[in-house]
Structure 1
Amino acid sequence: MNKKELSQTLSHRLGITCKESQQYLDTLCEVLSEEFQKGNSICLQNFGLFSCRQQPGRPGRNPRTGVPAHIPSRTIVKFKPGKGLMKTLNP
């Protein structure tokens, strides 16, 4: 399911227009991004936990040429499913 299909499903279930549900999804994505930039985790009860951490830079190499290269640090986002989600996936 992509963002457009999710927006259509939300609009049907909530009885709102597709444009409103798309605005809702855009706002949700913005809020999640802002919180991850601050280094905060997001816990949605019975759904799961989104957490982020900073992965430090490290030495590496180009697999094609074998030339050593530096891999810069980056932010990693992880998702850990909650018990409620796991119950619906594995009844």
Structure 2
Amino acid sequence: MNKSELVETVAARTGSSPAEARRHVEAALHAITEAVAVGDRVSLVGFGTFEGADRPARTARDPRSGDAVDVPAARVARFRAGAAFRDAVAAGEAPDVPAVVTAPPPARRGATADDVVGDADADAAGGTRSGGGRTSHPRADQVAGVATAAPEKDPKASGKASARSTKDAKKDAKKDAKKAGRKAKAHDAAGRAAKKSRKAAASGT
């Protein structure tokens, strides 16, 4: 079993996502390494103890040539298996999974069942909820509301636009009046011509 397989096993046992399981595994390994590196001993009851030890300088022999080889002093990492670990290996049987591993994660204080389900849905969708120090993604309608919000109008620009509209309206009114005048003159001329034609017809008879 390598680290990736260990992460997959932890995710399957705990019901968490592979990404979350990887964070937990990496955090545990880092904590053990950090403690032993600074001289502390990490004792995990039933599993074993990690600690550092000073190895003095010594003389060894090269297994190929048989020549003596000086090995300098060094500080090395050591692991001593715990009783439960040794017993399981000796029996050749995997122990039962602890209940704390398969138990569901505790709900946040004041959270309801809907909140817990909502957190799971949010994690599956790649987002997070706002409770418990998390941040939430905006809803689609919120984004749309921001995107379609009407910009504020400039009072000066509105006044200029209104003035232009009034001026254009006056011009249009003058044009309409001129057109109406020309039509009236044409109508009067047509009326006078028709009257002359009738008079001429009457005189001829």
Which 5+ residue runs of structure 2 have no aligned equivalent?
96-205
| Corresponding residue for residue 59 of structure 1 | 59
Structure with greater Cα Rg = 2
TM superposition score normalised by structure 1: 0.75
Report the CA distance between 1:29 and its aligned residue. 1.5
Cα RMSD between the aligned structures? Answer: 2.3
> Does 1 or 2 have the higher relative contact order (CA < 8 Å, sep 6+)?
1
Q: How does 1:1-91 map to 2 (within 5 A)?
A: 1-74=1-74, 75-82=76-83, 84-85=84-85, 89=88, 90=91
Tell me which amino acid in the other structure corresponds to 1:69: V
Partner Cα distance (2:2, 2:67) in 1: 38
Partner Cα distance (1:22, 1:12) in 2: 12
Which 5+ residue runs of structure 1 have no aligned equivalent?
none
Partner Cα distance (2:46, 2:13) in 1: 20
Report the CA distance between 1:36 and its aligned residue. 1.5
- SS where residue 5 of structure 2 aligns? helix
The structure richer in helix per residue is: 2
- Aligned 8 A contact 1:55 1:76 in 2: no
- SS where residue 53 of structure 1 aligns? strand
User: What percentage of aligned pairs have identical amino acids?
Assistant: 26
Partner Cα distance (2:69, 2:48) in 1: 36
- SS where residue 65 of structure 1 aligns? coil
Q: Cα deviation per residue 1:48-88 (whole Å; 9 max; x = unaligned)?
A: 32233111121123222233221122314122313x4456x
- Aligned 8 A contact 2:59 2:68 in 1: yes
Partner Cα distance (2:53, 2:60) in 1: 20
TM superposition score normalised by structure 2: 0.38
